[in-house]
Structure 1
């Protein structure tokens, strides 16, 4: 089953992105994955091609509007020009030019998408899959179960009890599935009222599907979710939606990815942030700590003496996966210095001795000393 990621996800932007922000996102990614900067990296080269393909479509207002309406199908229906077949001159939508574009864009108001022989195409399905942050990092295969309409095997999708023998061409529309009516200067097409757009009339409907050609069934499908997906990513599986009956294309399945929040990590694009508490003495004297990494391993971080609460330490290449690439972002460890609680009598005595000596040594707490020096100047009217 081939999956093709949303062009907006490829460029790491939302569907509401402005033209200027789209251009900035493209330039940033194109520079990052340019072959000249990633010599010999096949994954980077593939990612660079995806980025250019996505931007070639979304930078053009007309192509973008068609993509928002039809998805990747807008560029594969006719196999014409552009990024996979989009051509307003008459190639991208089956050779009919603007007439076919308007027919597809406004087809839902006149009976929806249609397959061969006037049959209506199957409906699209929307579903949501929830994954953990670790699964988003590594990629995962998820089984989804859904109720959908599938091809009726009893009547071979014809809707007739006698299969093909029980199906006649509609005498009103002569199999076209639509009729034309003159309204002033315009000719308007509508679904045929006799056959409801099917183009055929069934004399004796199938007992299982009742003439529809499809039946409801619970179906389980495996969906491959690539490493590096973000929360809100939408994956389109062409032809995995509801069946449209014999001679009509099936709809598409749209899988919306929801990534759970983590108790240990916070994600920002390809970077990971982790807050690690350390004791006051560790921060003052310096230490070495072990921290968890998103891939399930551990990493050592050296904490120098005199570290202040909130300081960050960078671990290169320990961050999140980059979509469709072997690269990884960075991990940032933020240390939080904890104030000790529930002290024993001896601990209190030691801290009192420390405080007494520290009060006489300005260098031990420079920020503390500097702040109260400025307060004193302010109160005395010097600051």
Structure 2
């Protein structure tokens, strides 16, 4: 049976670039992989072999030149595909390259160094510490490189040997019917090495658990949910790999006076009935000290006063926030007879309706209209 033209198989021009050849091969290989064609896997497998054979020829400059000059006769026997199978490769190899390139990985490095794990430390701060920044000393349990064996895992004076199972690759192939599956070597667990005489301190692991005291510099303006990264302070890497990072997770404790919303602070300020009526000045706290807040006459409870620039300087830049003071008019308690009499007398003098109590009068009118509609 005559073979189909390789260029037609890949649906490319004869002057196609290497990148175009590879792109077409990826697309075709995924399309005709037997696992994606369960209704007719045999036909898909045959097509897949042809596509692979075409790619092996056209991706090799010498083979491509011979094919362009002499056709199939110029490359018969040199291509890895055809009836001879996959030329030592298998679906695992092919799709490790194809899908690995697409999803950003390629085949896993065999017997390579491994980066240490990242760690997280939850740190509680007071509002003042979060706003102004602080140097926090933290104690973290972490895997560190064994000082006895310098991370090799082998007893001092000895060295690890090449793994006899995977021959240093860190991975082995398991044949499962038509497919060949690549797995982490069960003997060396992917390191590619075996330790015959393990270190007495780390027992061959190359790392030991220790408590490490660190100084975490917390910048001003952090808030709950922010993270501070301490590069290289995570777990030590394996087989000479780099250390991971330590992430300090910030949790700001509740404050007795202030609530925080981003860069702004909020507080409630109780004021006396007389101050609300006649006005006055009172001291209010800020994180930078006391300031005087002027209360105008006839201030109603719930009114917000804004103190610009008395909030929080944002950790990521931007304007300093504000402090909002919400006044709460306090009702006098534990009145004497004389005081009660004075309040009653004041109440009688204020019975002018809308003139003295506009909100109360407005509310009373709304209630009256509501019931009039119900009964009307």
Matched with 1:286 is 279
Matched with 2:148 is 154
2:241 to 242, 248, 256: 248
| Alignment of 1:138 onto 2:132 | yes
| Alignment of 1:274 onto 2:267 | yes
- Unaligned 5+ runs, structure 1: 1-95, 108-113
Matched with 1:301 is 293
Shift in Å, 1:103 = 7.6
Matched with 2:336 is 344
C-alpha contact 2:145 2:236 (8 A) present in aligned 1: yes
C-alpha contact 1:160 1:167 (8 A) present in aligned 2: yes
Determine which structure has greater relative contact order: mean sequence separation of CA pairs < 8 Å that are 6+ residues apart, divided by chain length. Answer: 1
Shift in Å, 1:248 = 1.5
Q: TM-score, normalised by structure 2?
A: 0.67
Cα RMSD of the aligned pairs, angstroms, is 2.8
1-structure distance, mates of 2:365, 2:205: 85
Greater Rg, structure 1 or structure 2? 2
- Unaligned 5+ runs, structure 2: 1-96
Provide, for residues 178-225 of structure 1, a one-character-per-residue CA deviation record: whole Å limited to 9, x for no partner. 223455676533211221211111111011110011111111111112
| Gap change, CA 1:377 and 1:204, over 3 Å in 2 | closer
| Gap change, CA 1:306 and 1:120, over 3 Å in 2 | same
| Gap change, CA 1:100 and 1:225, over 3 Å in 2 | farther
| Alignment of 1:178 onto 2:171 | yes
| Gap change, CA 1:248 and 1:363, over 3 Å in 2 | same
1-structure distance, mates of 2:225, 2:283: 32
1-structure distance, mates of 2:370, 2:189: 85
2-structure distance, mates of 1:353, 1:97: 92
Q: TM-score, normalised by structure 1?
A: 0.66
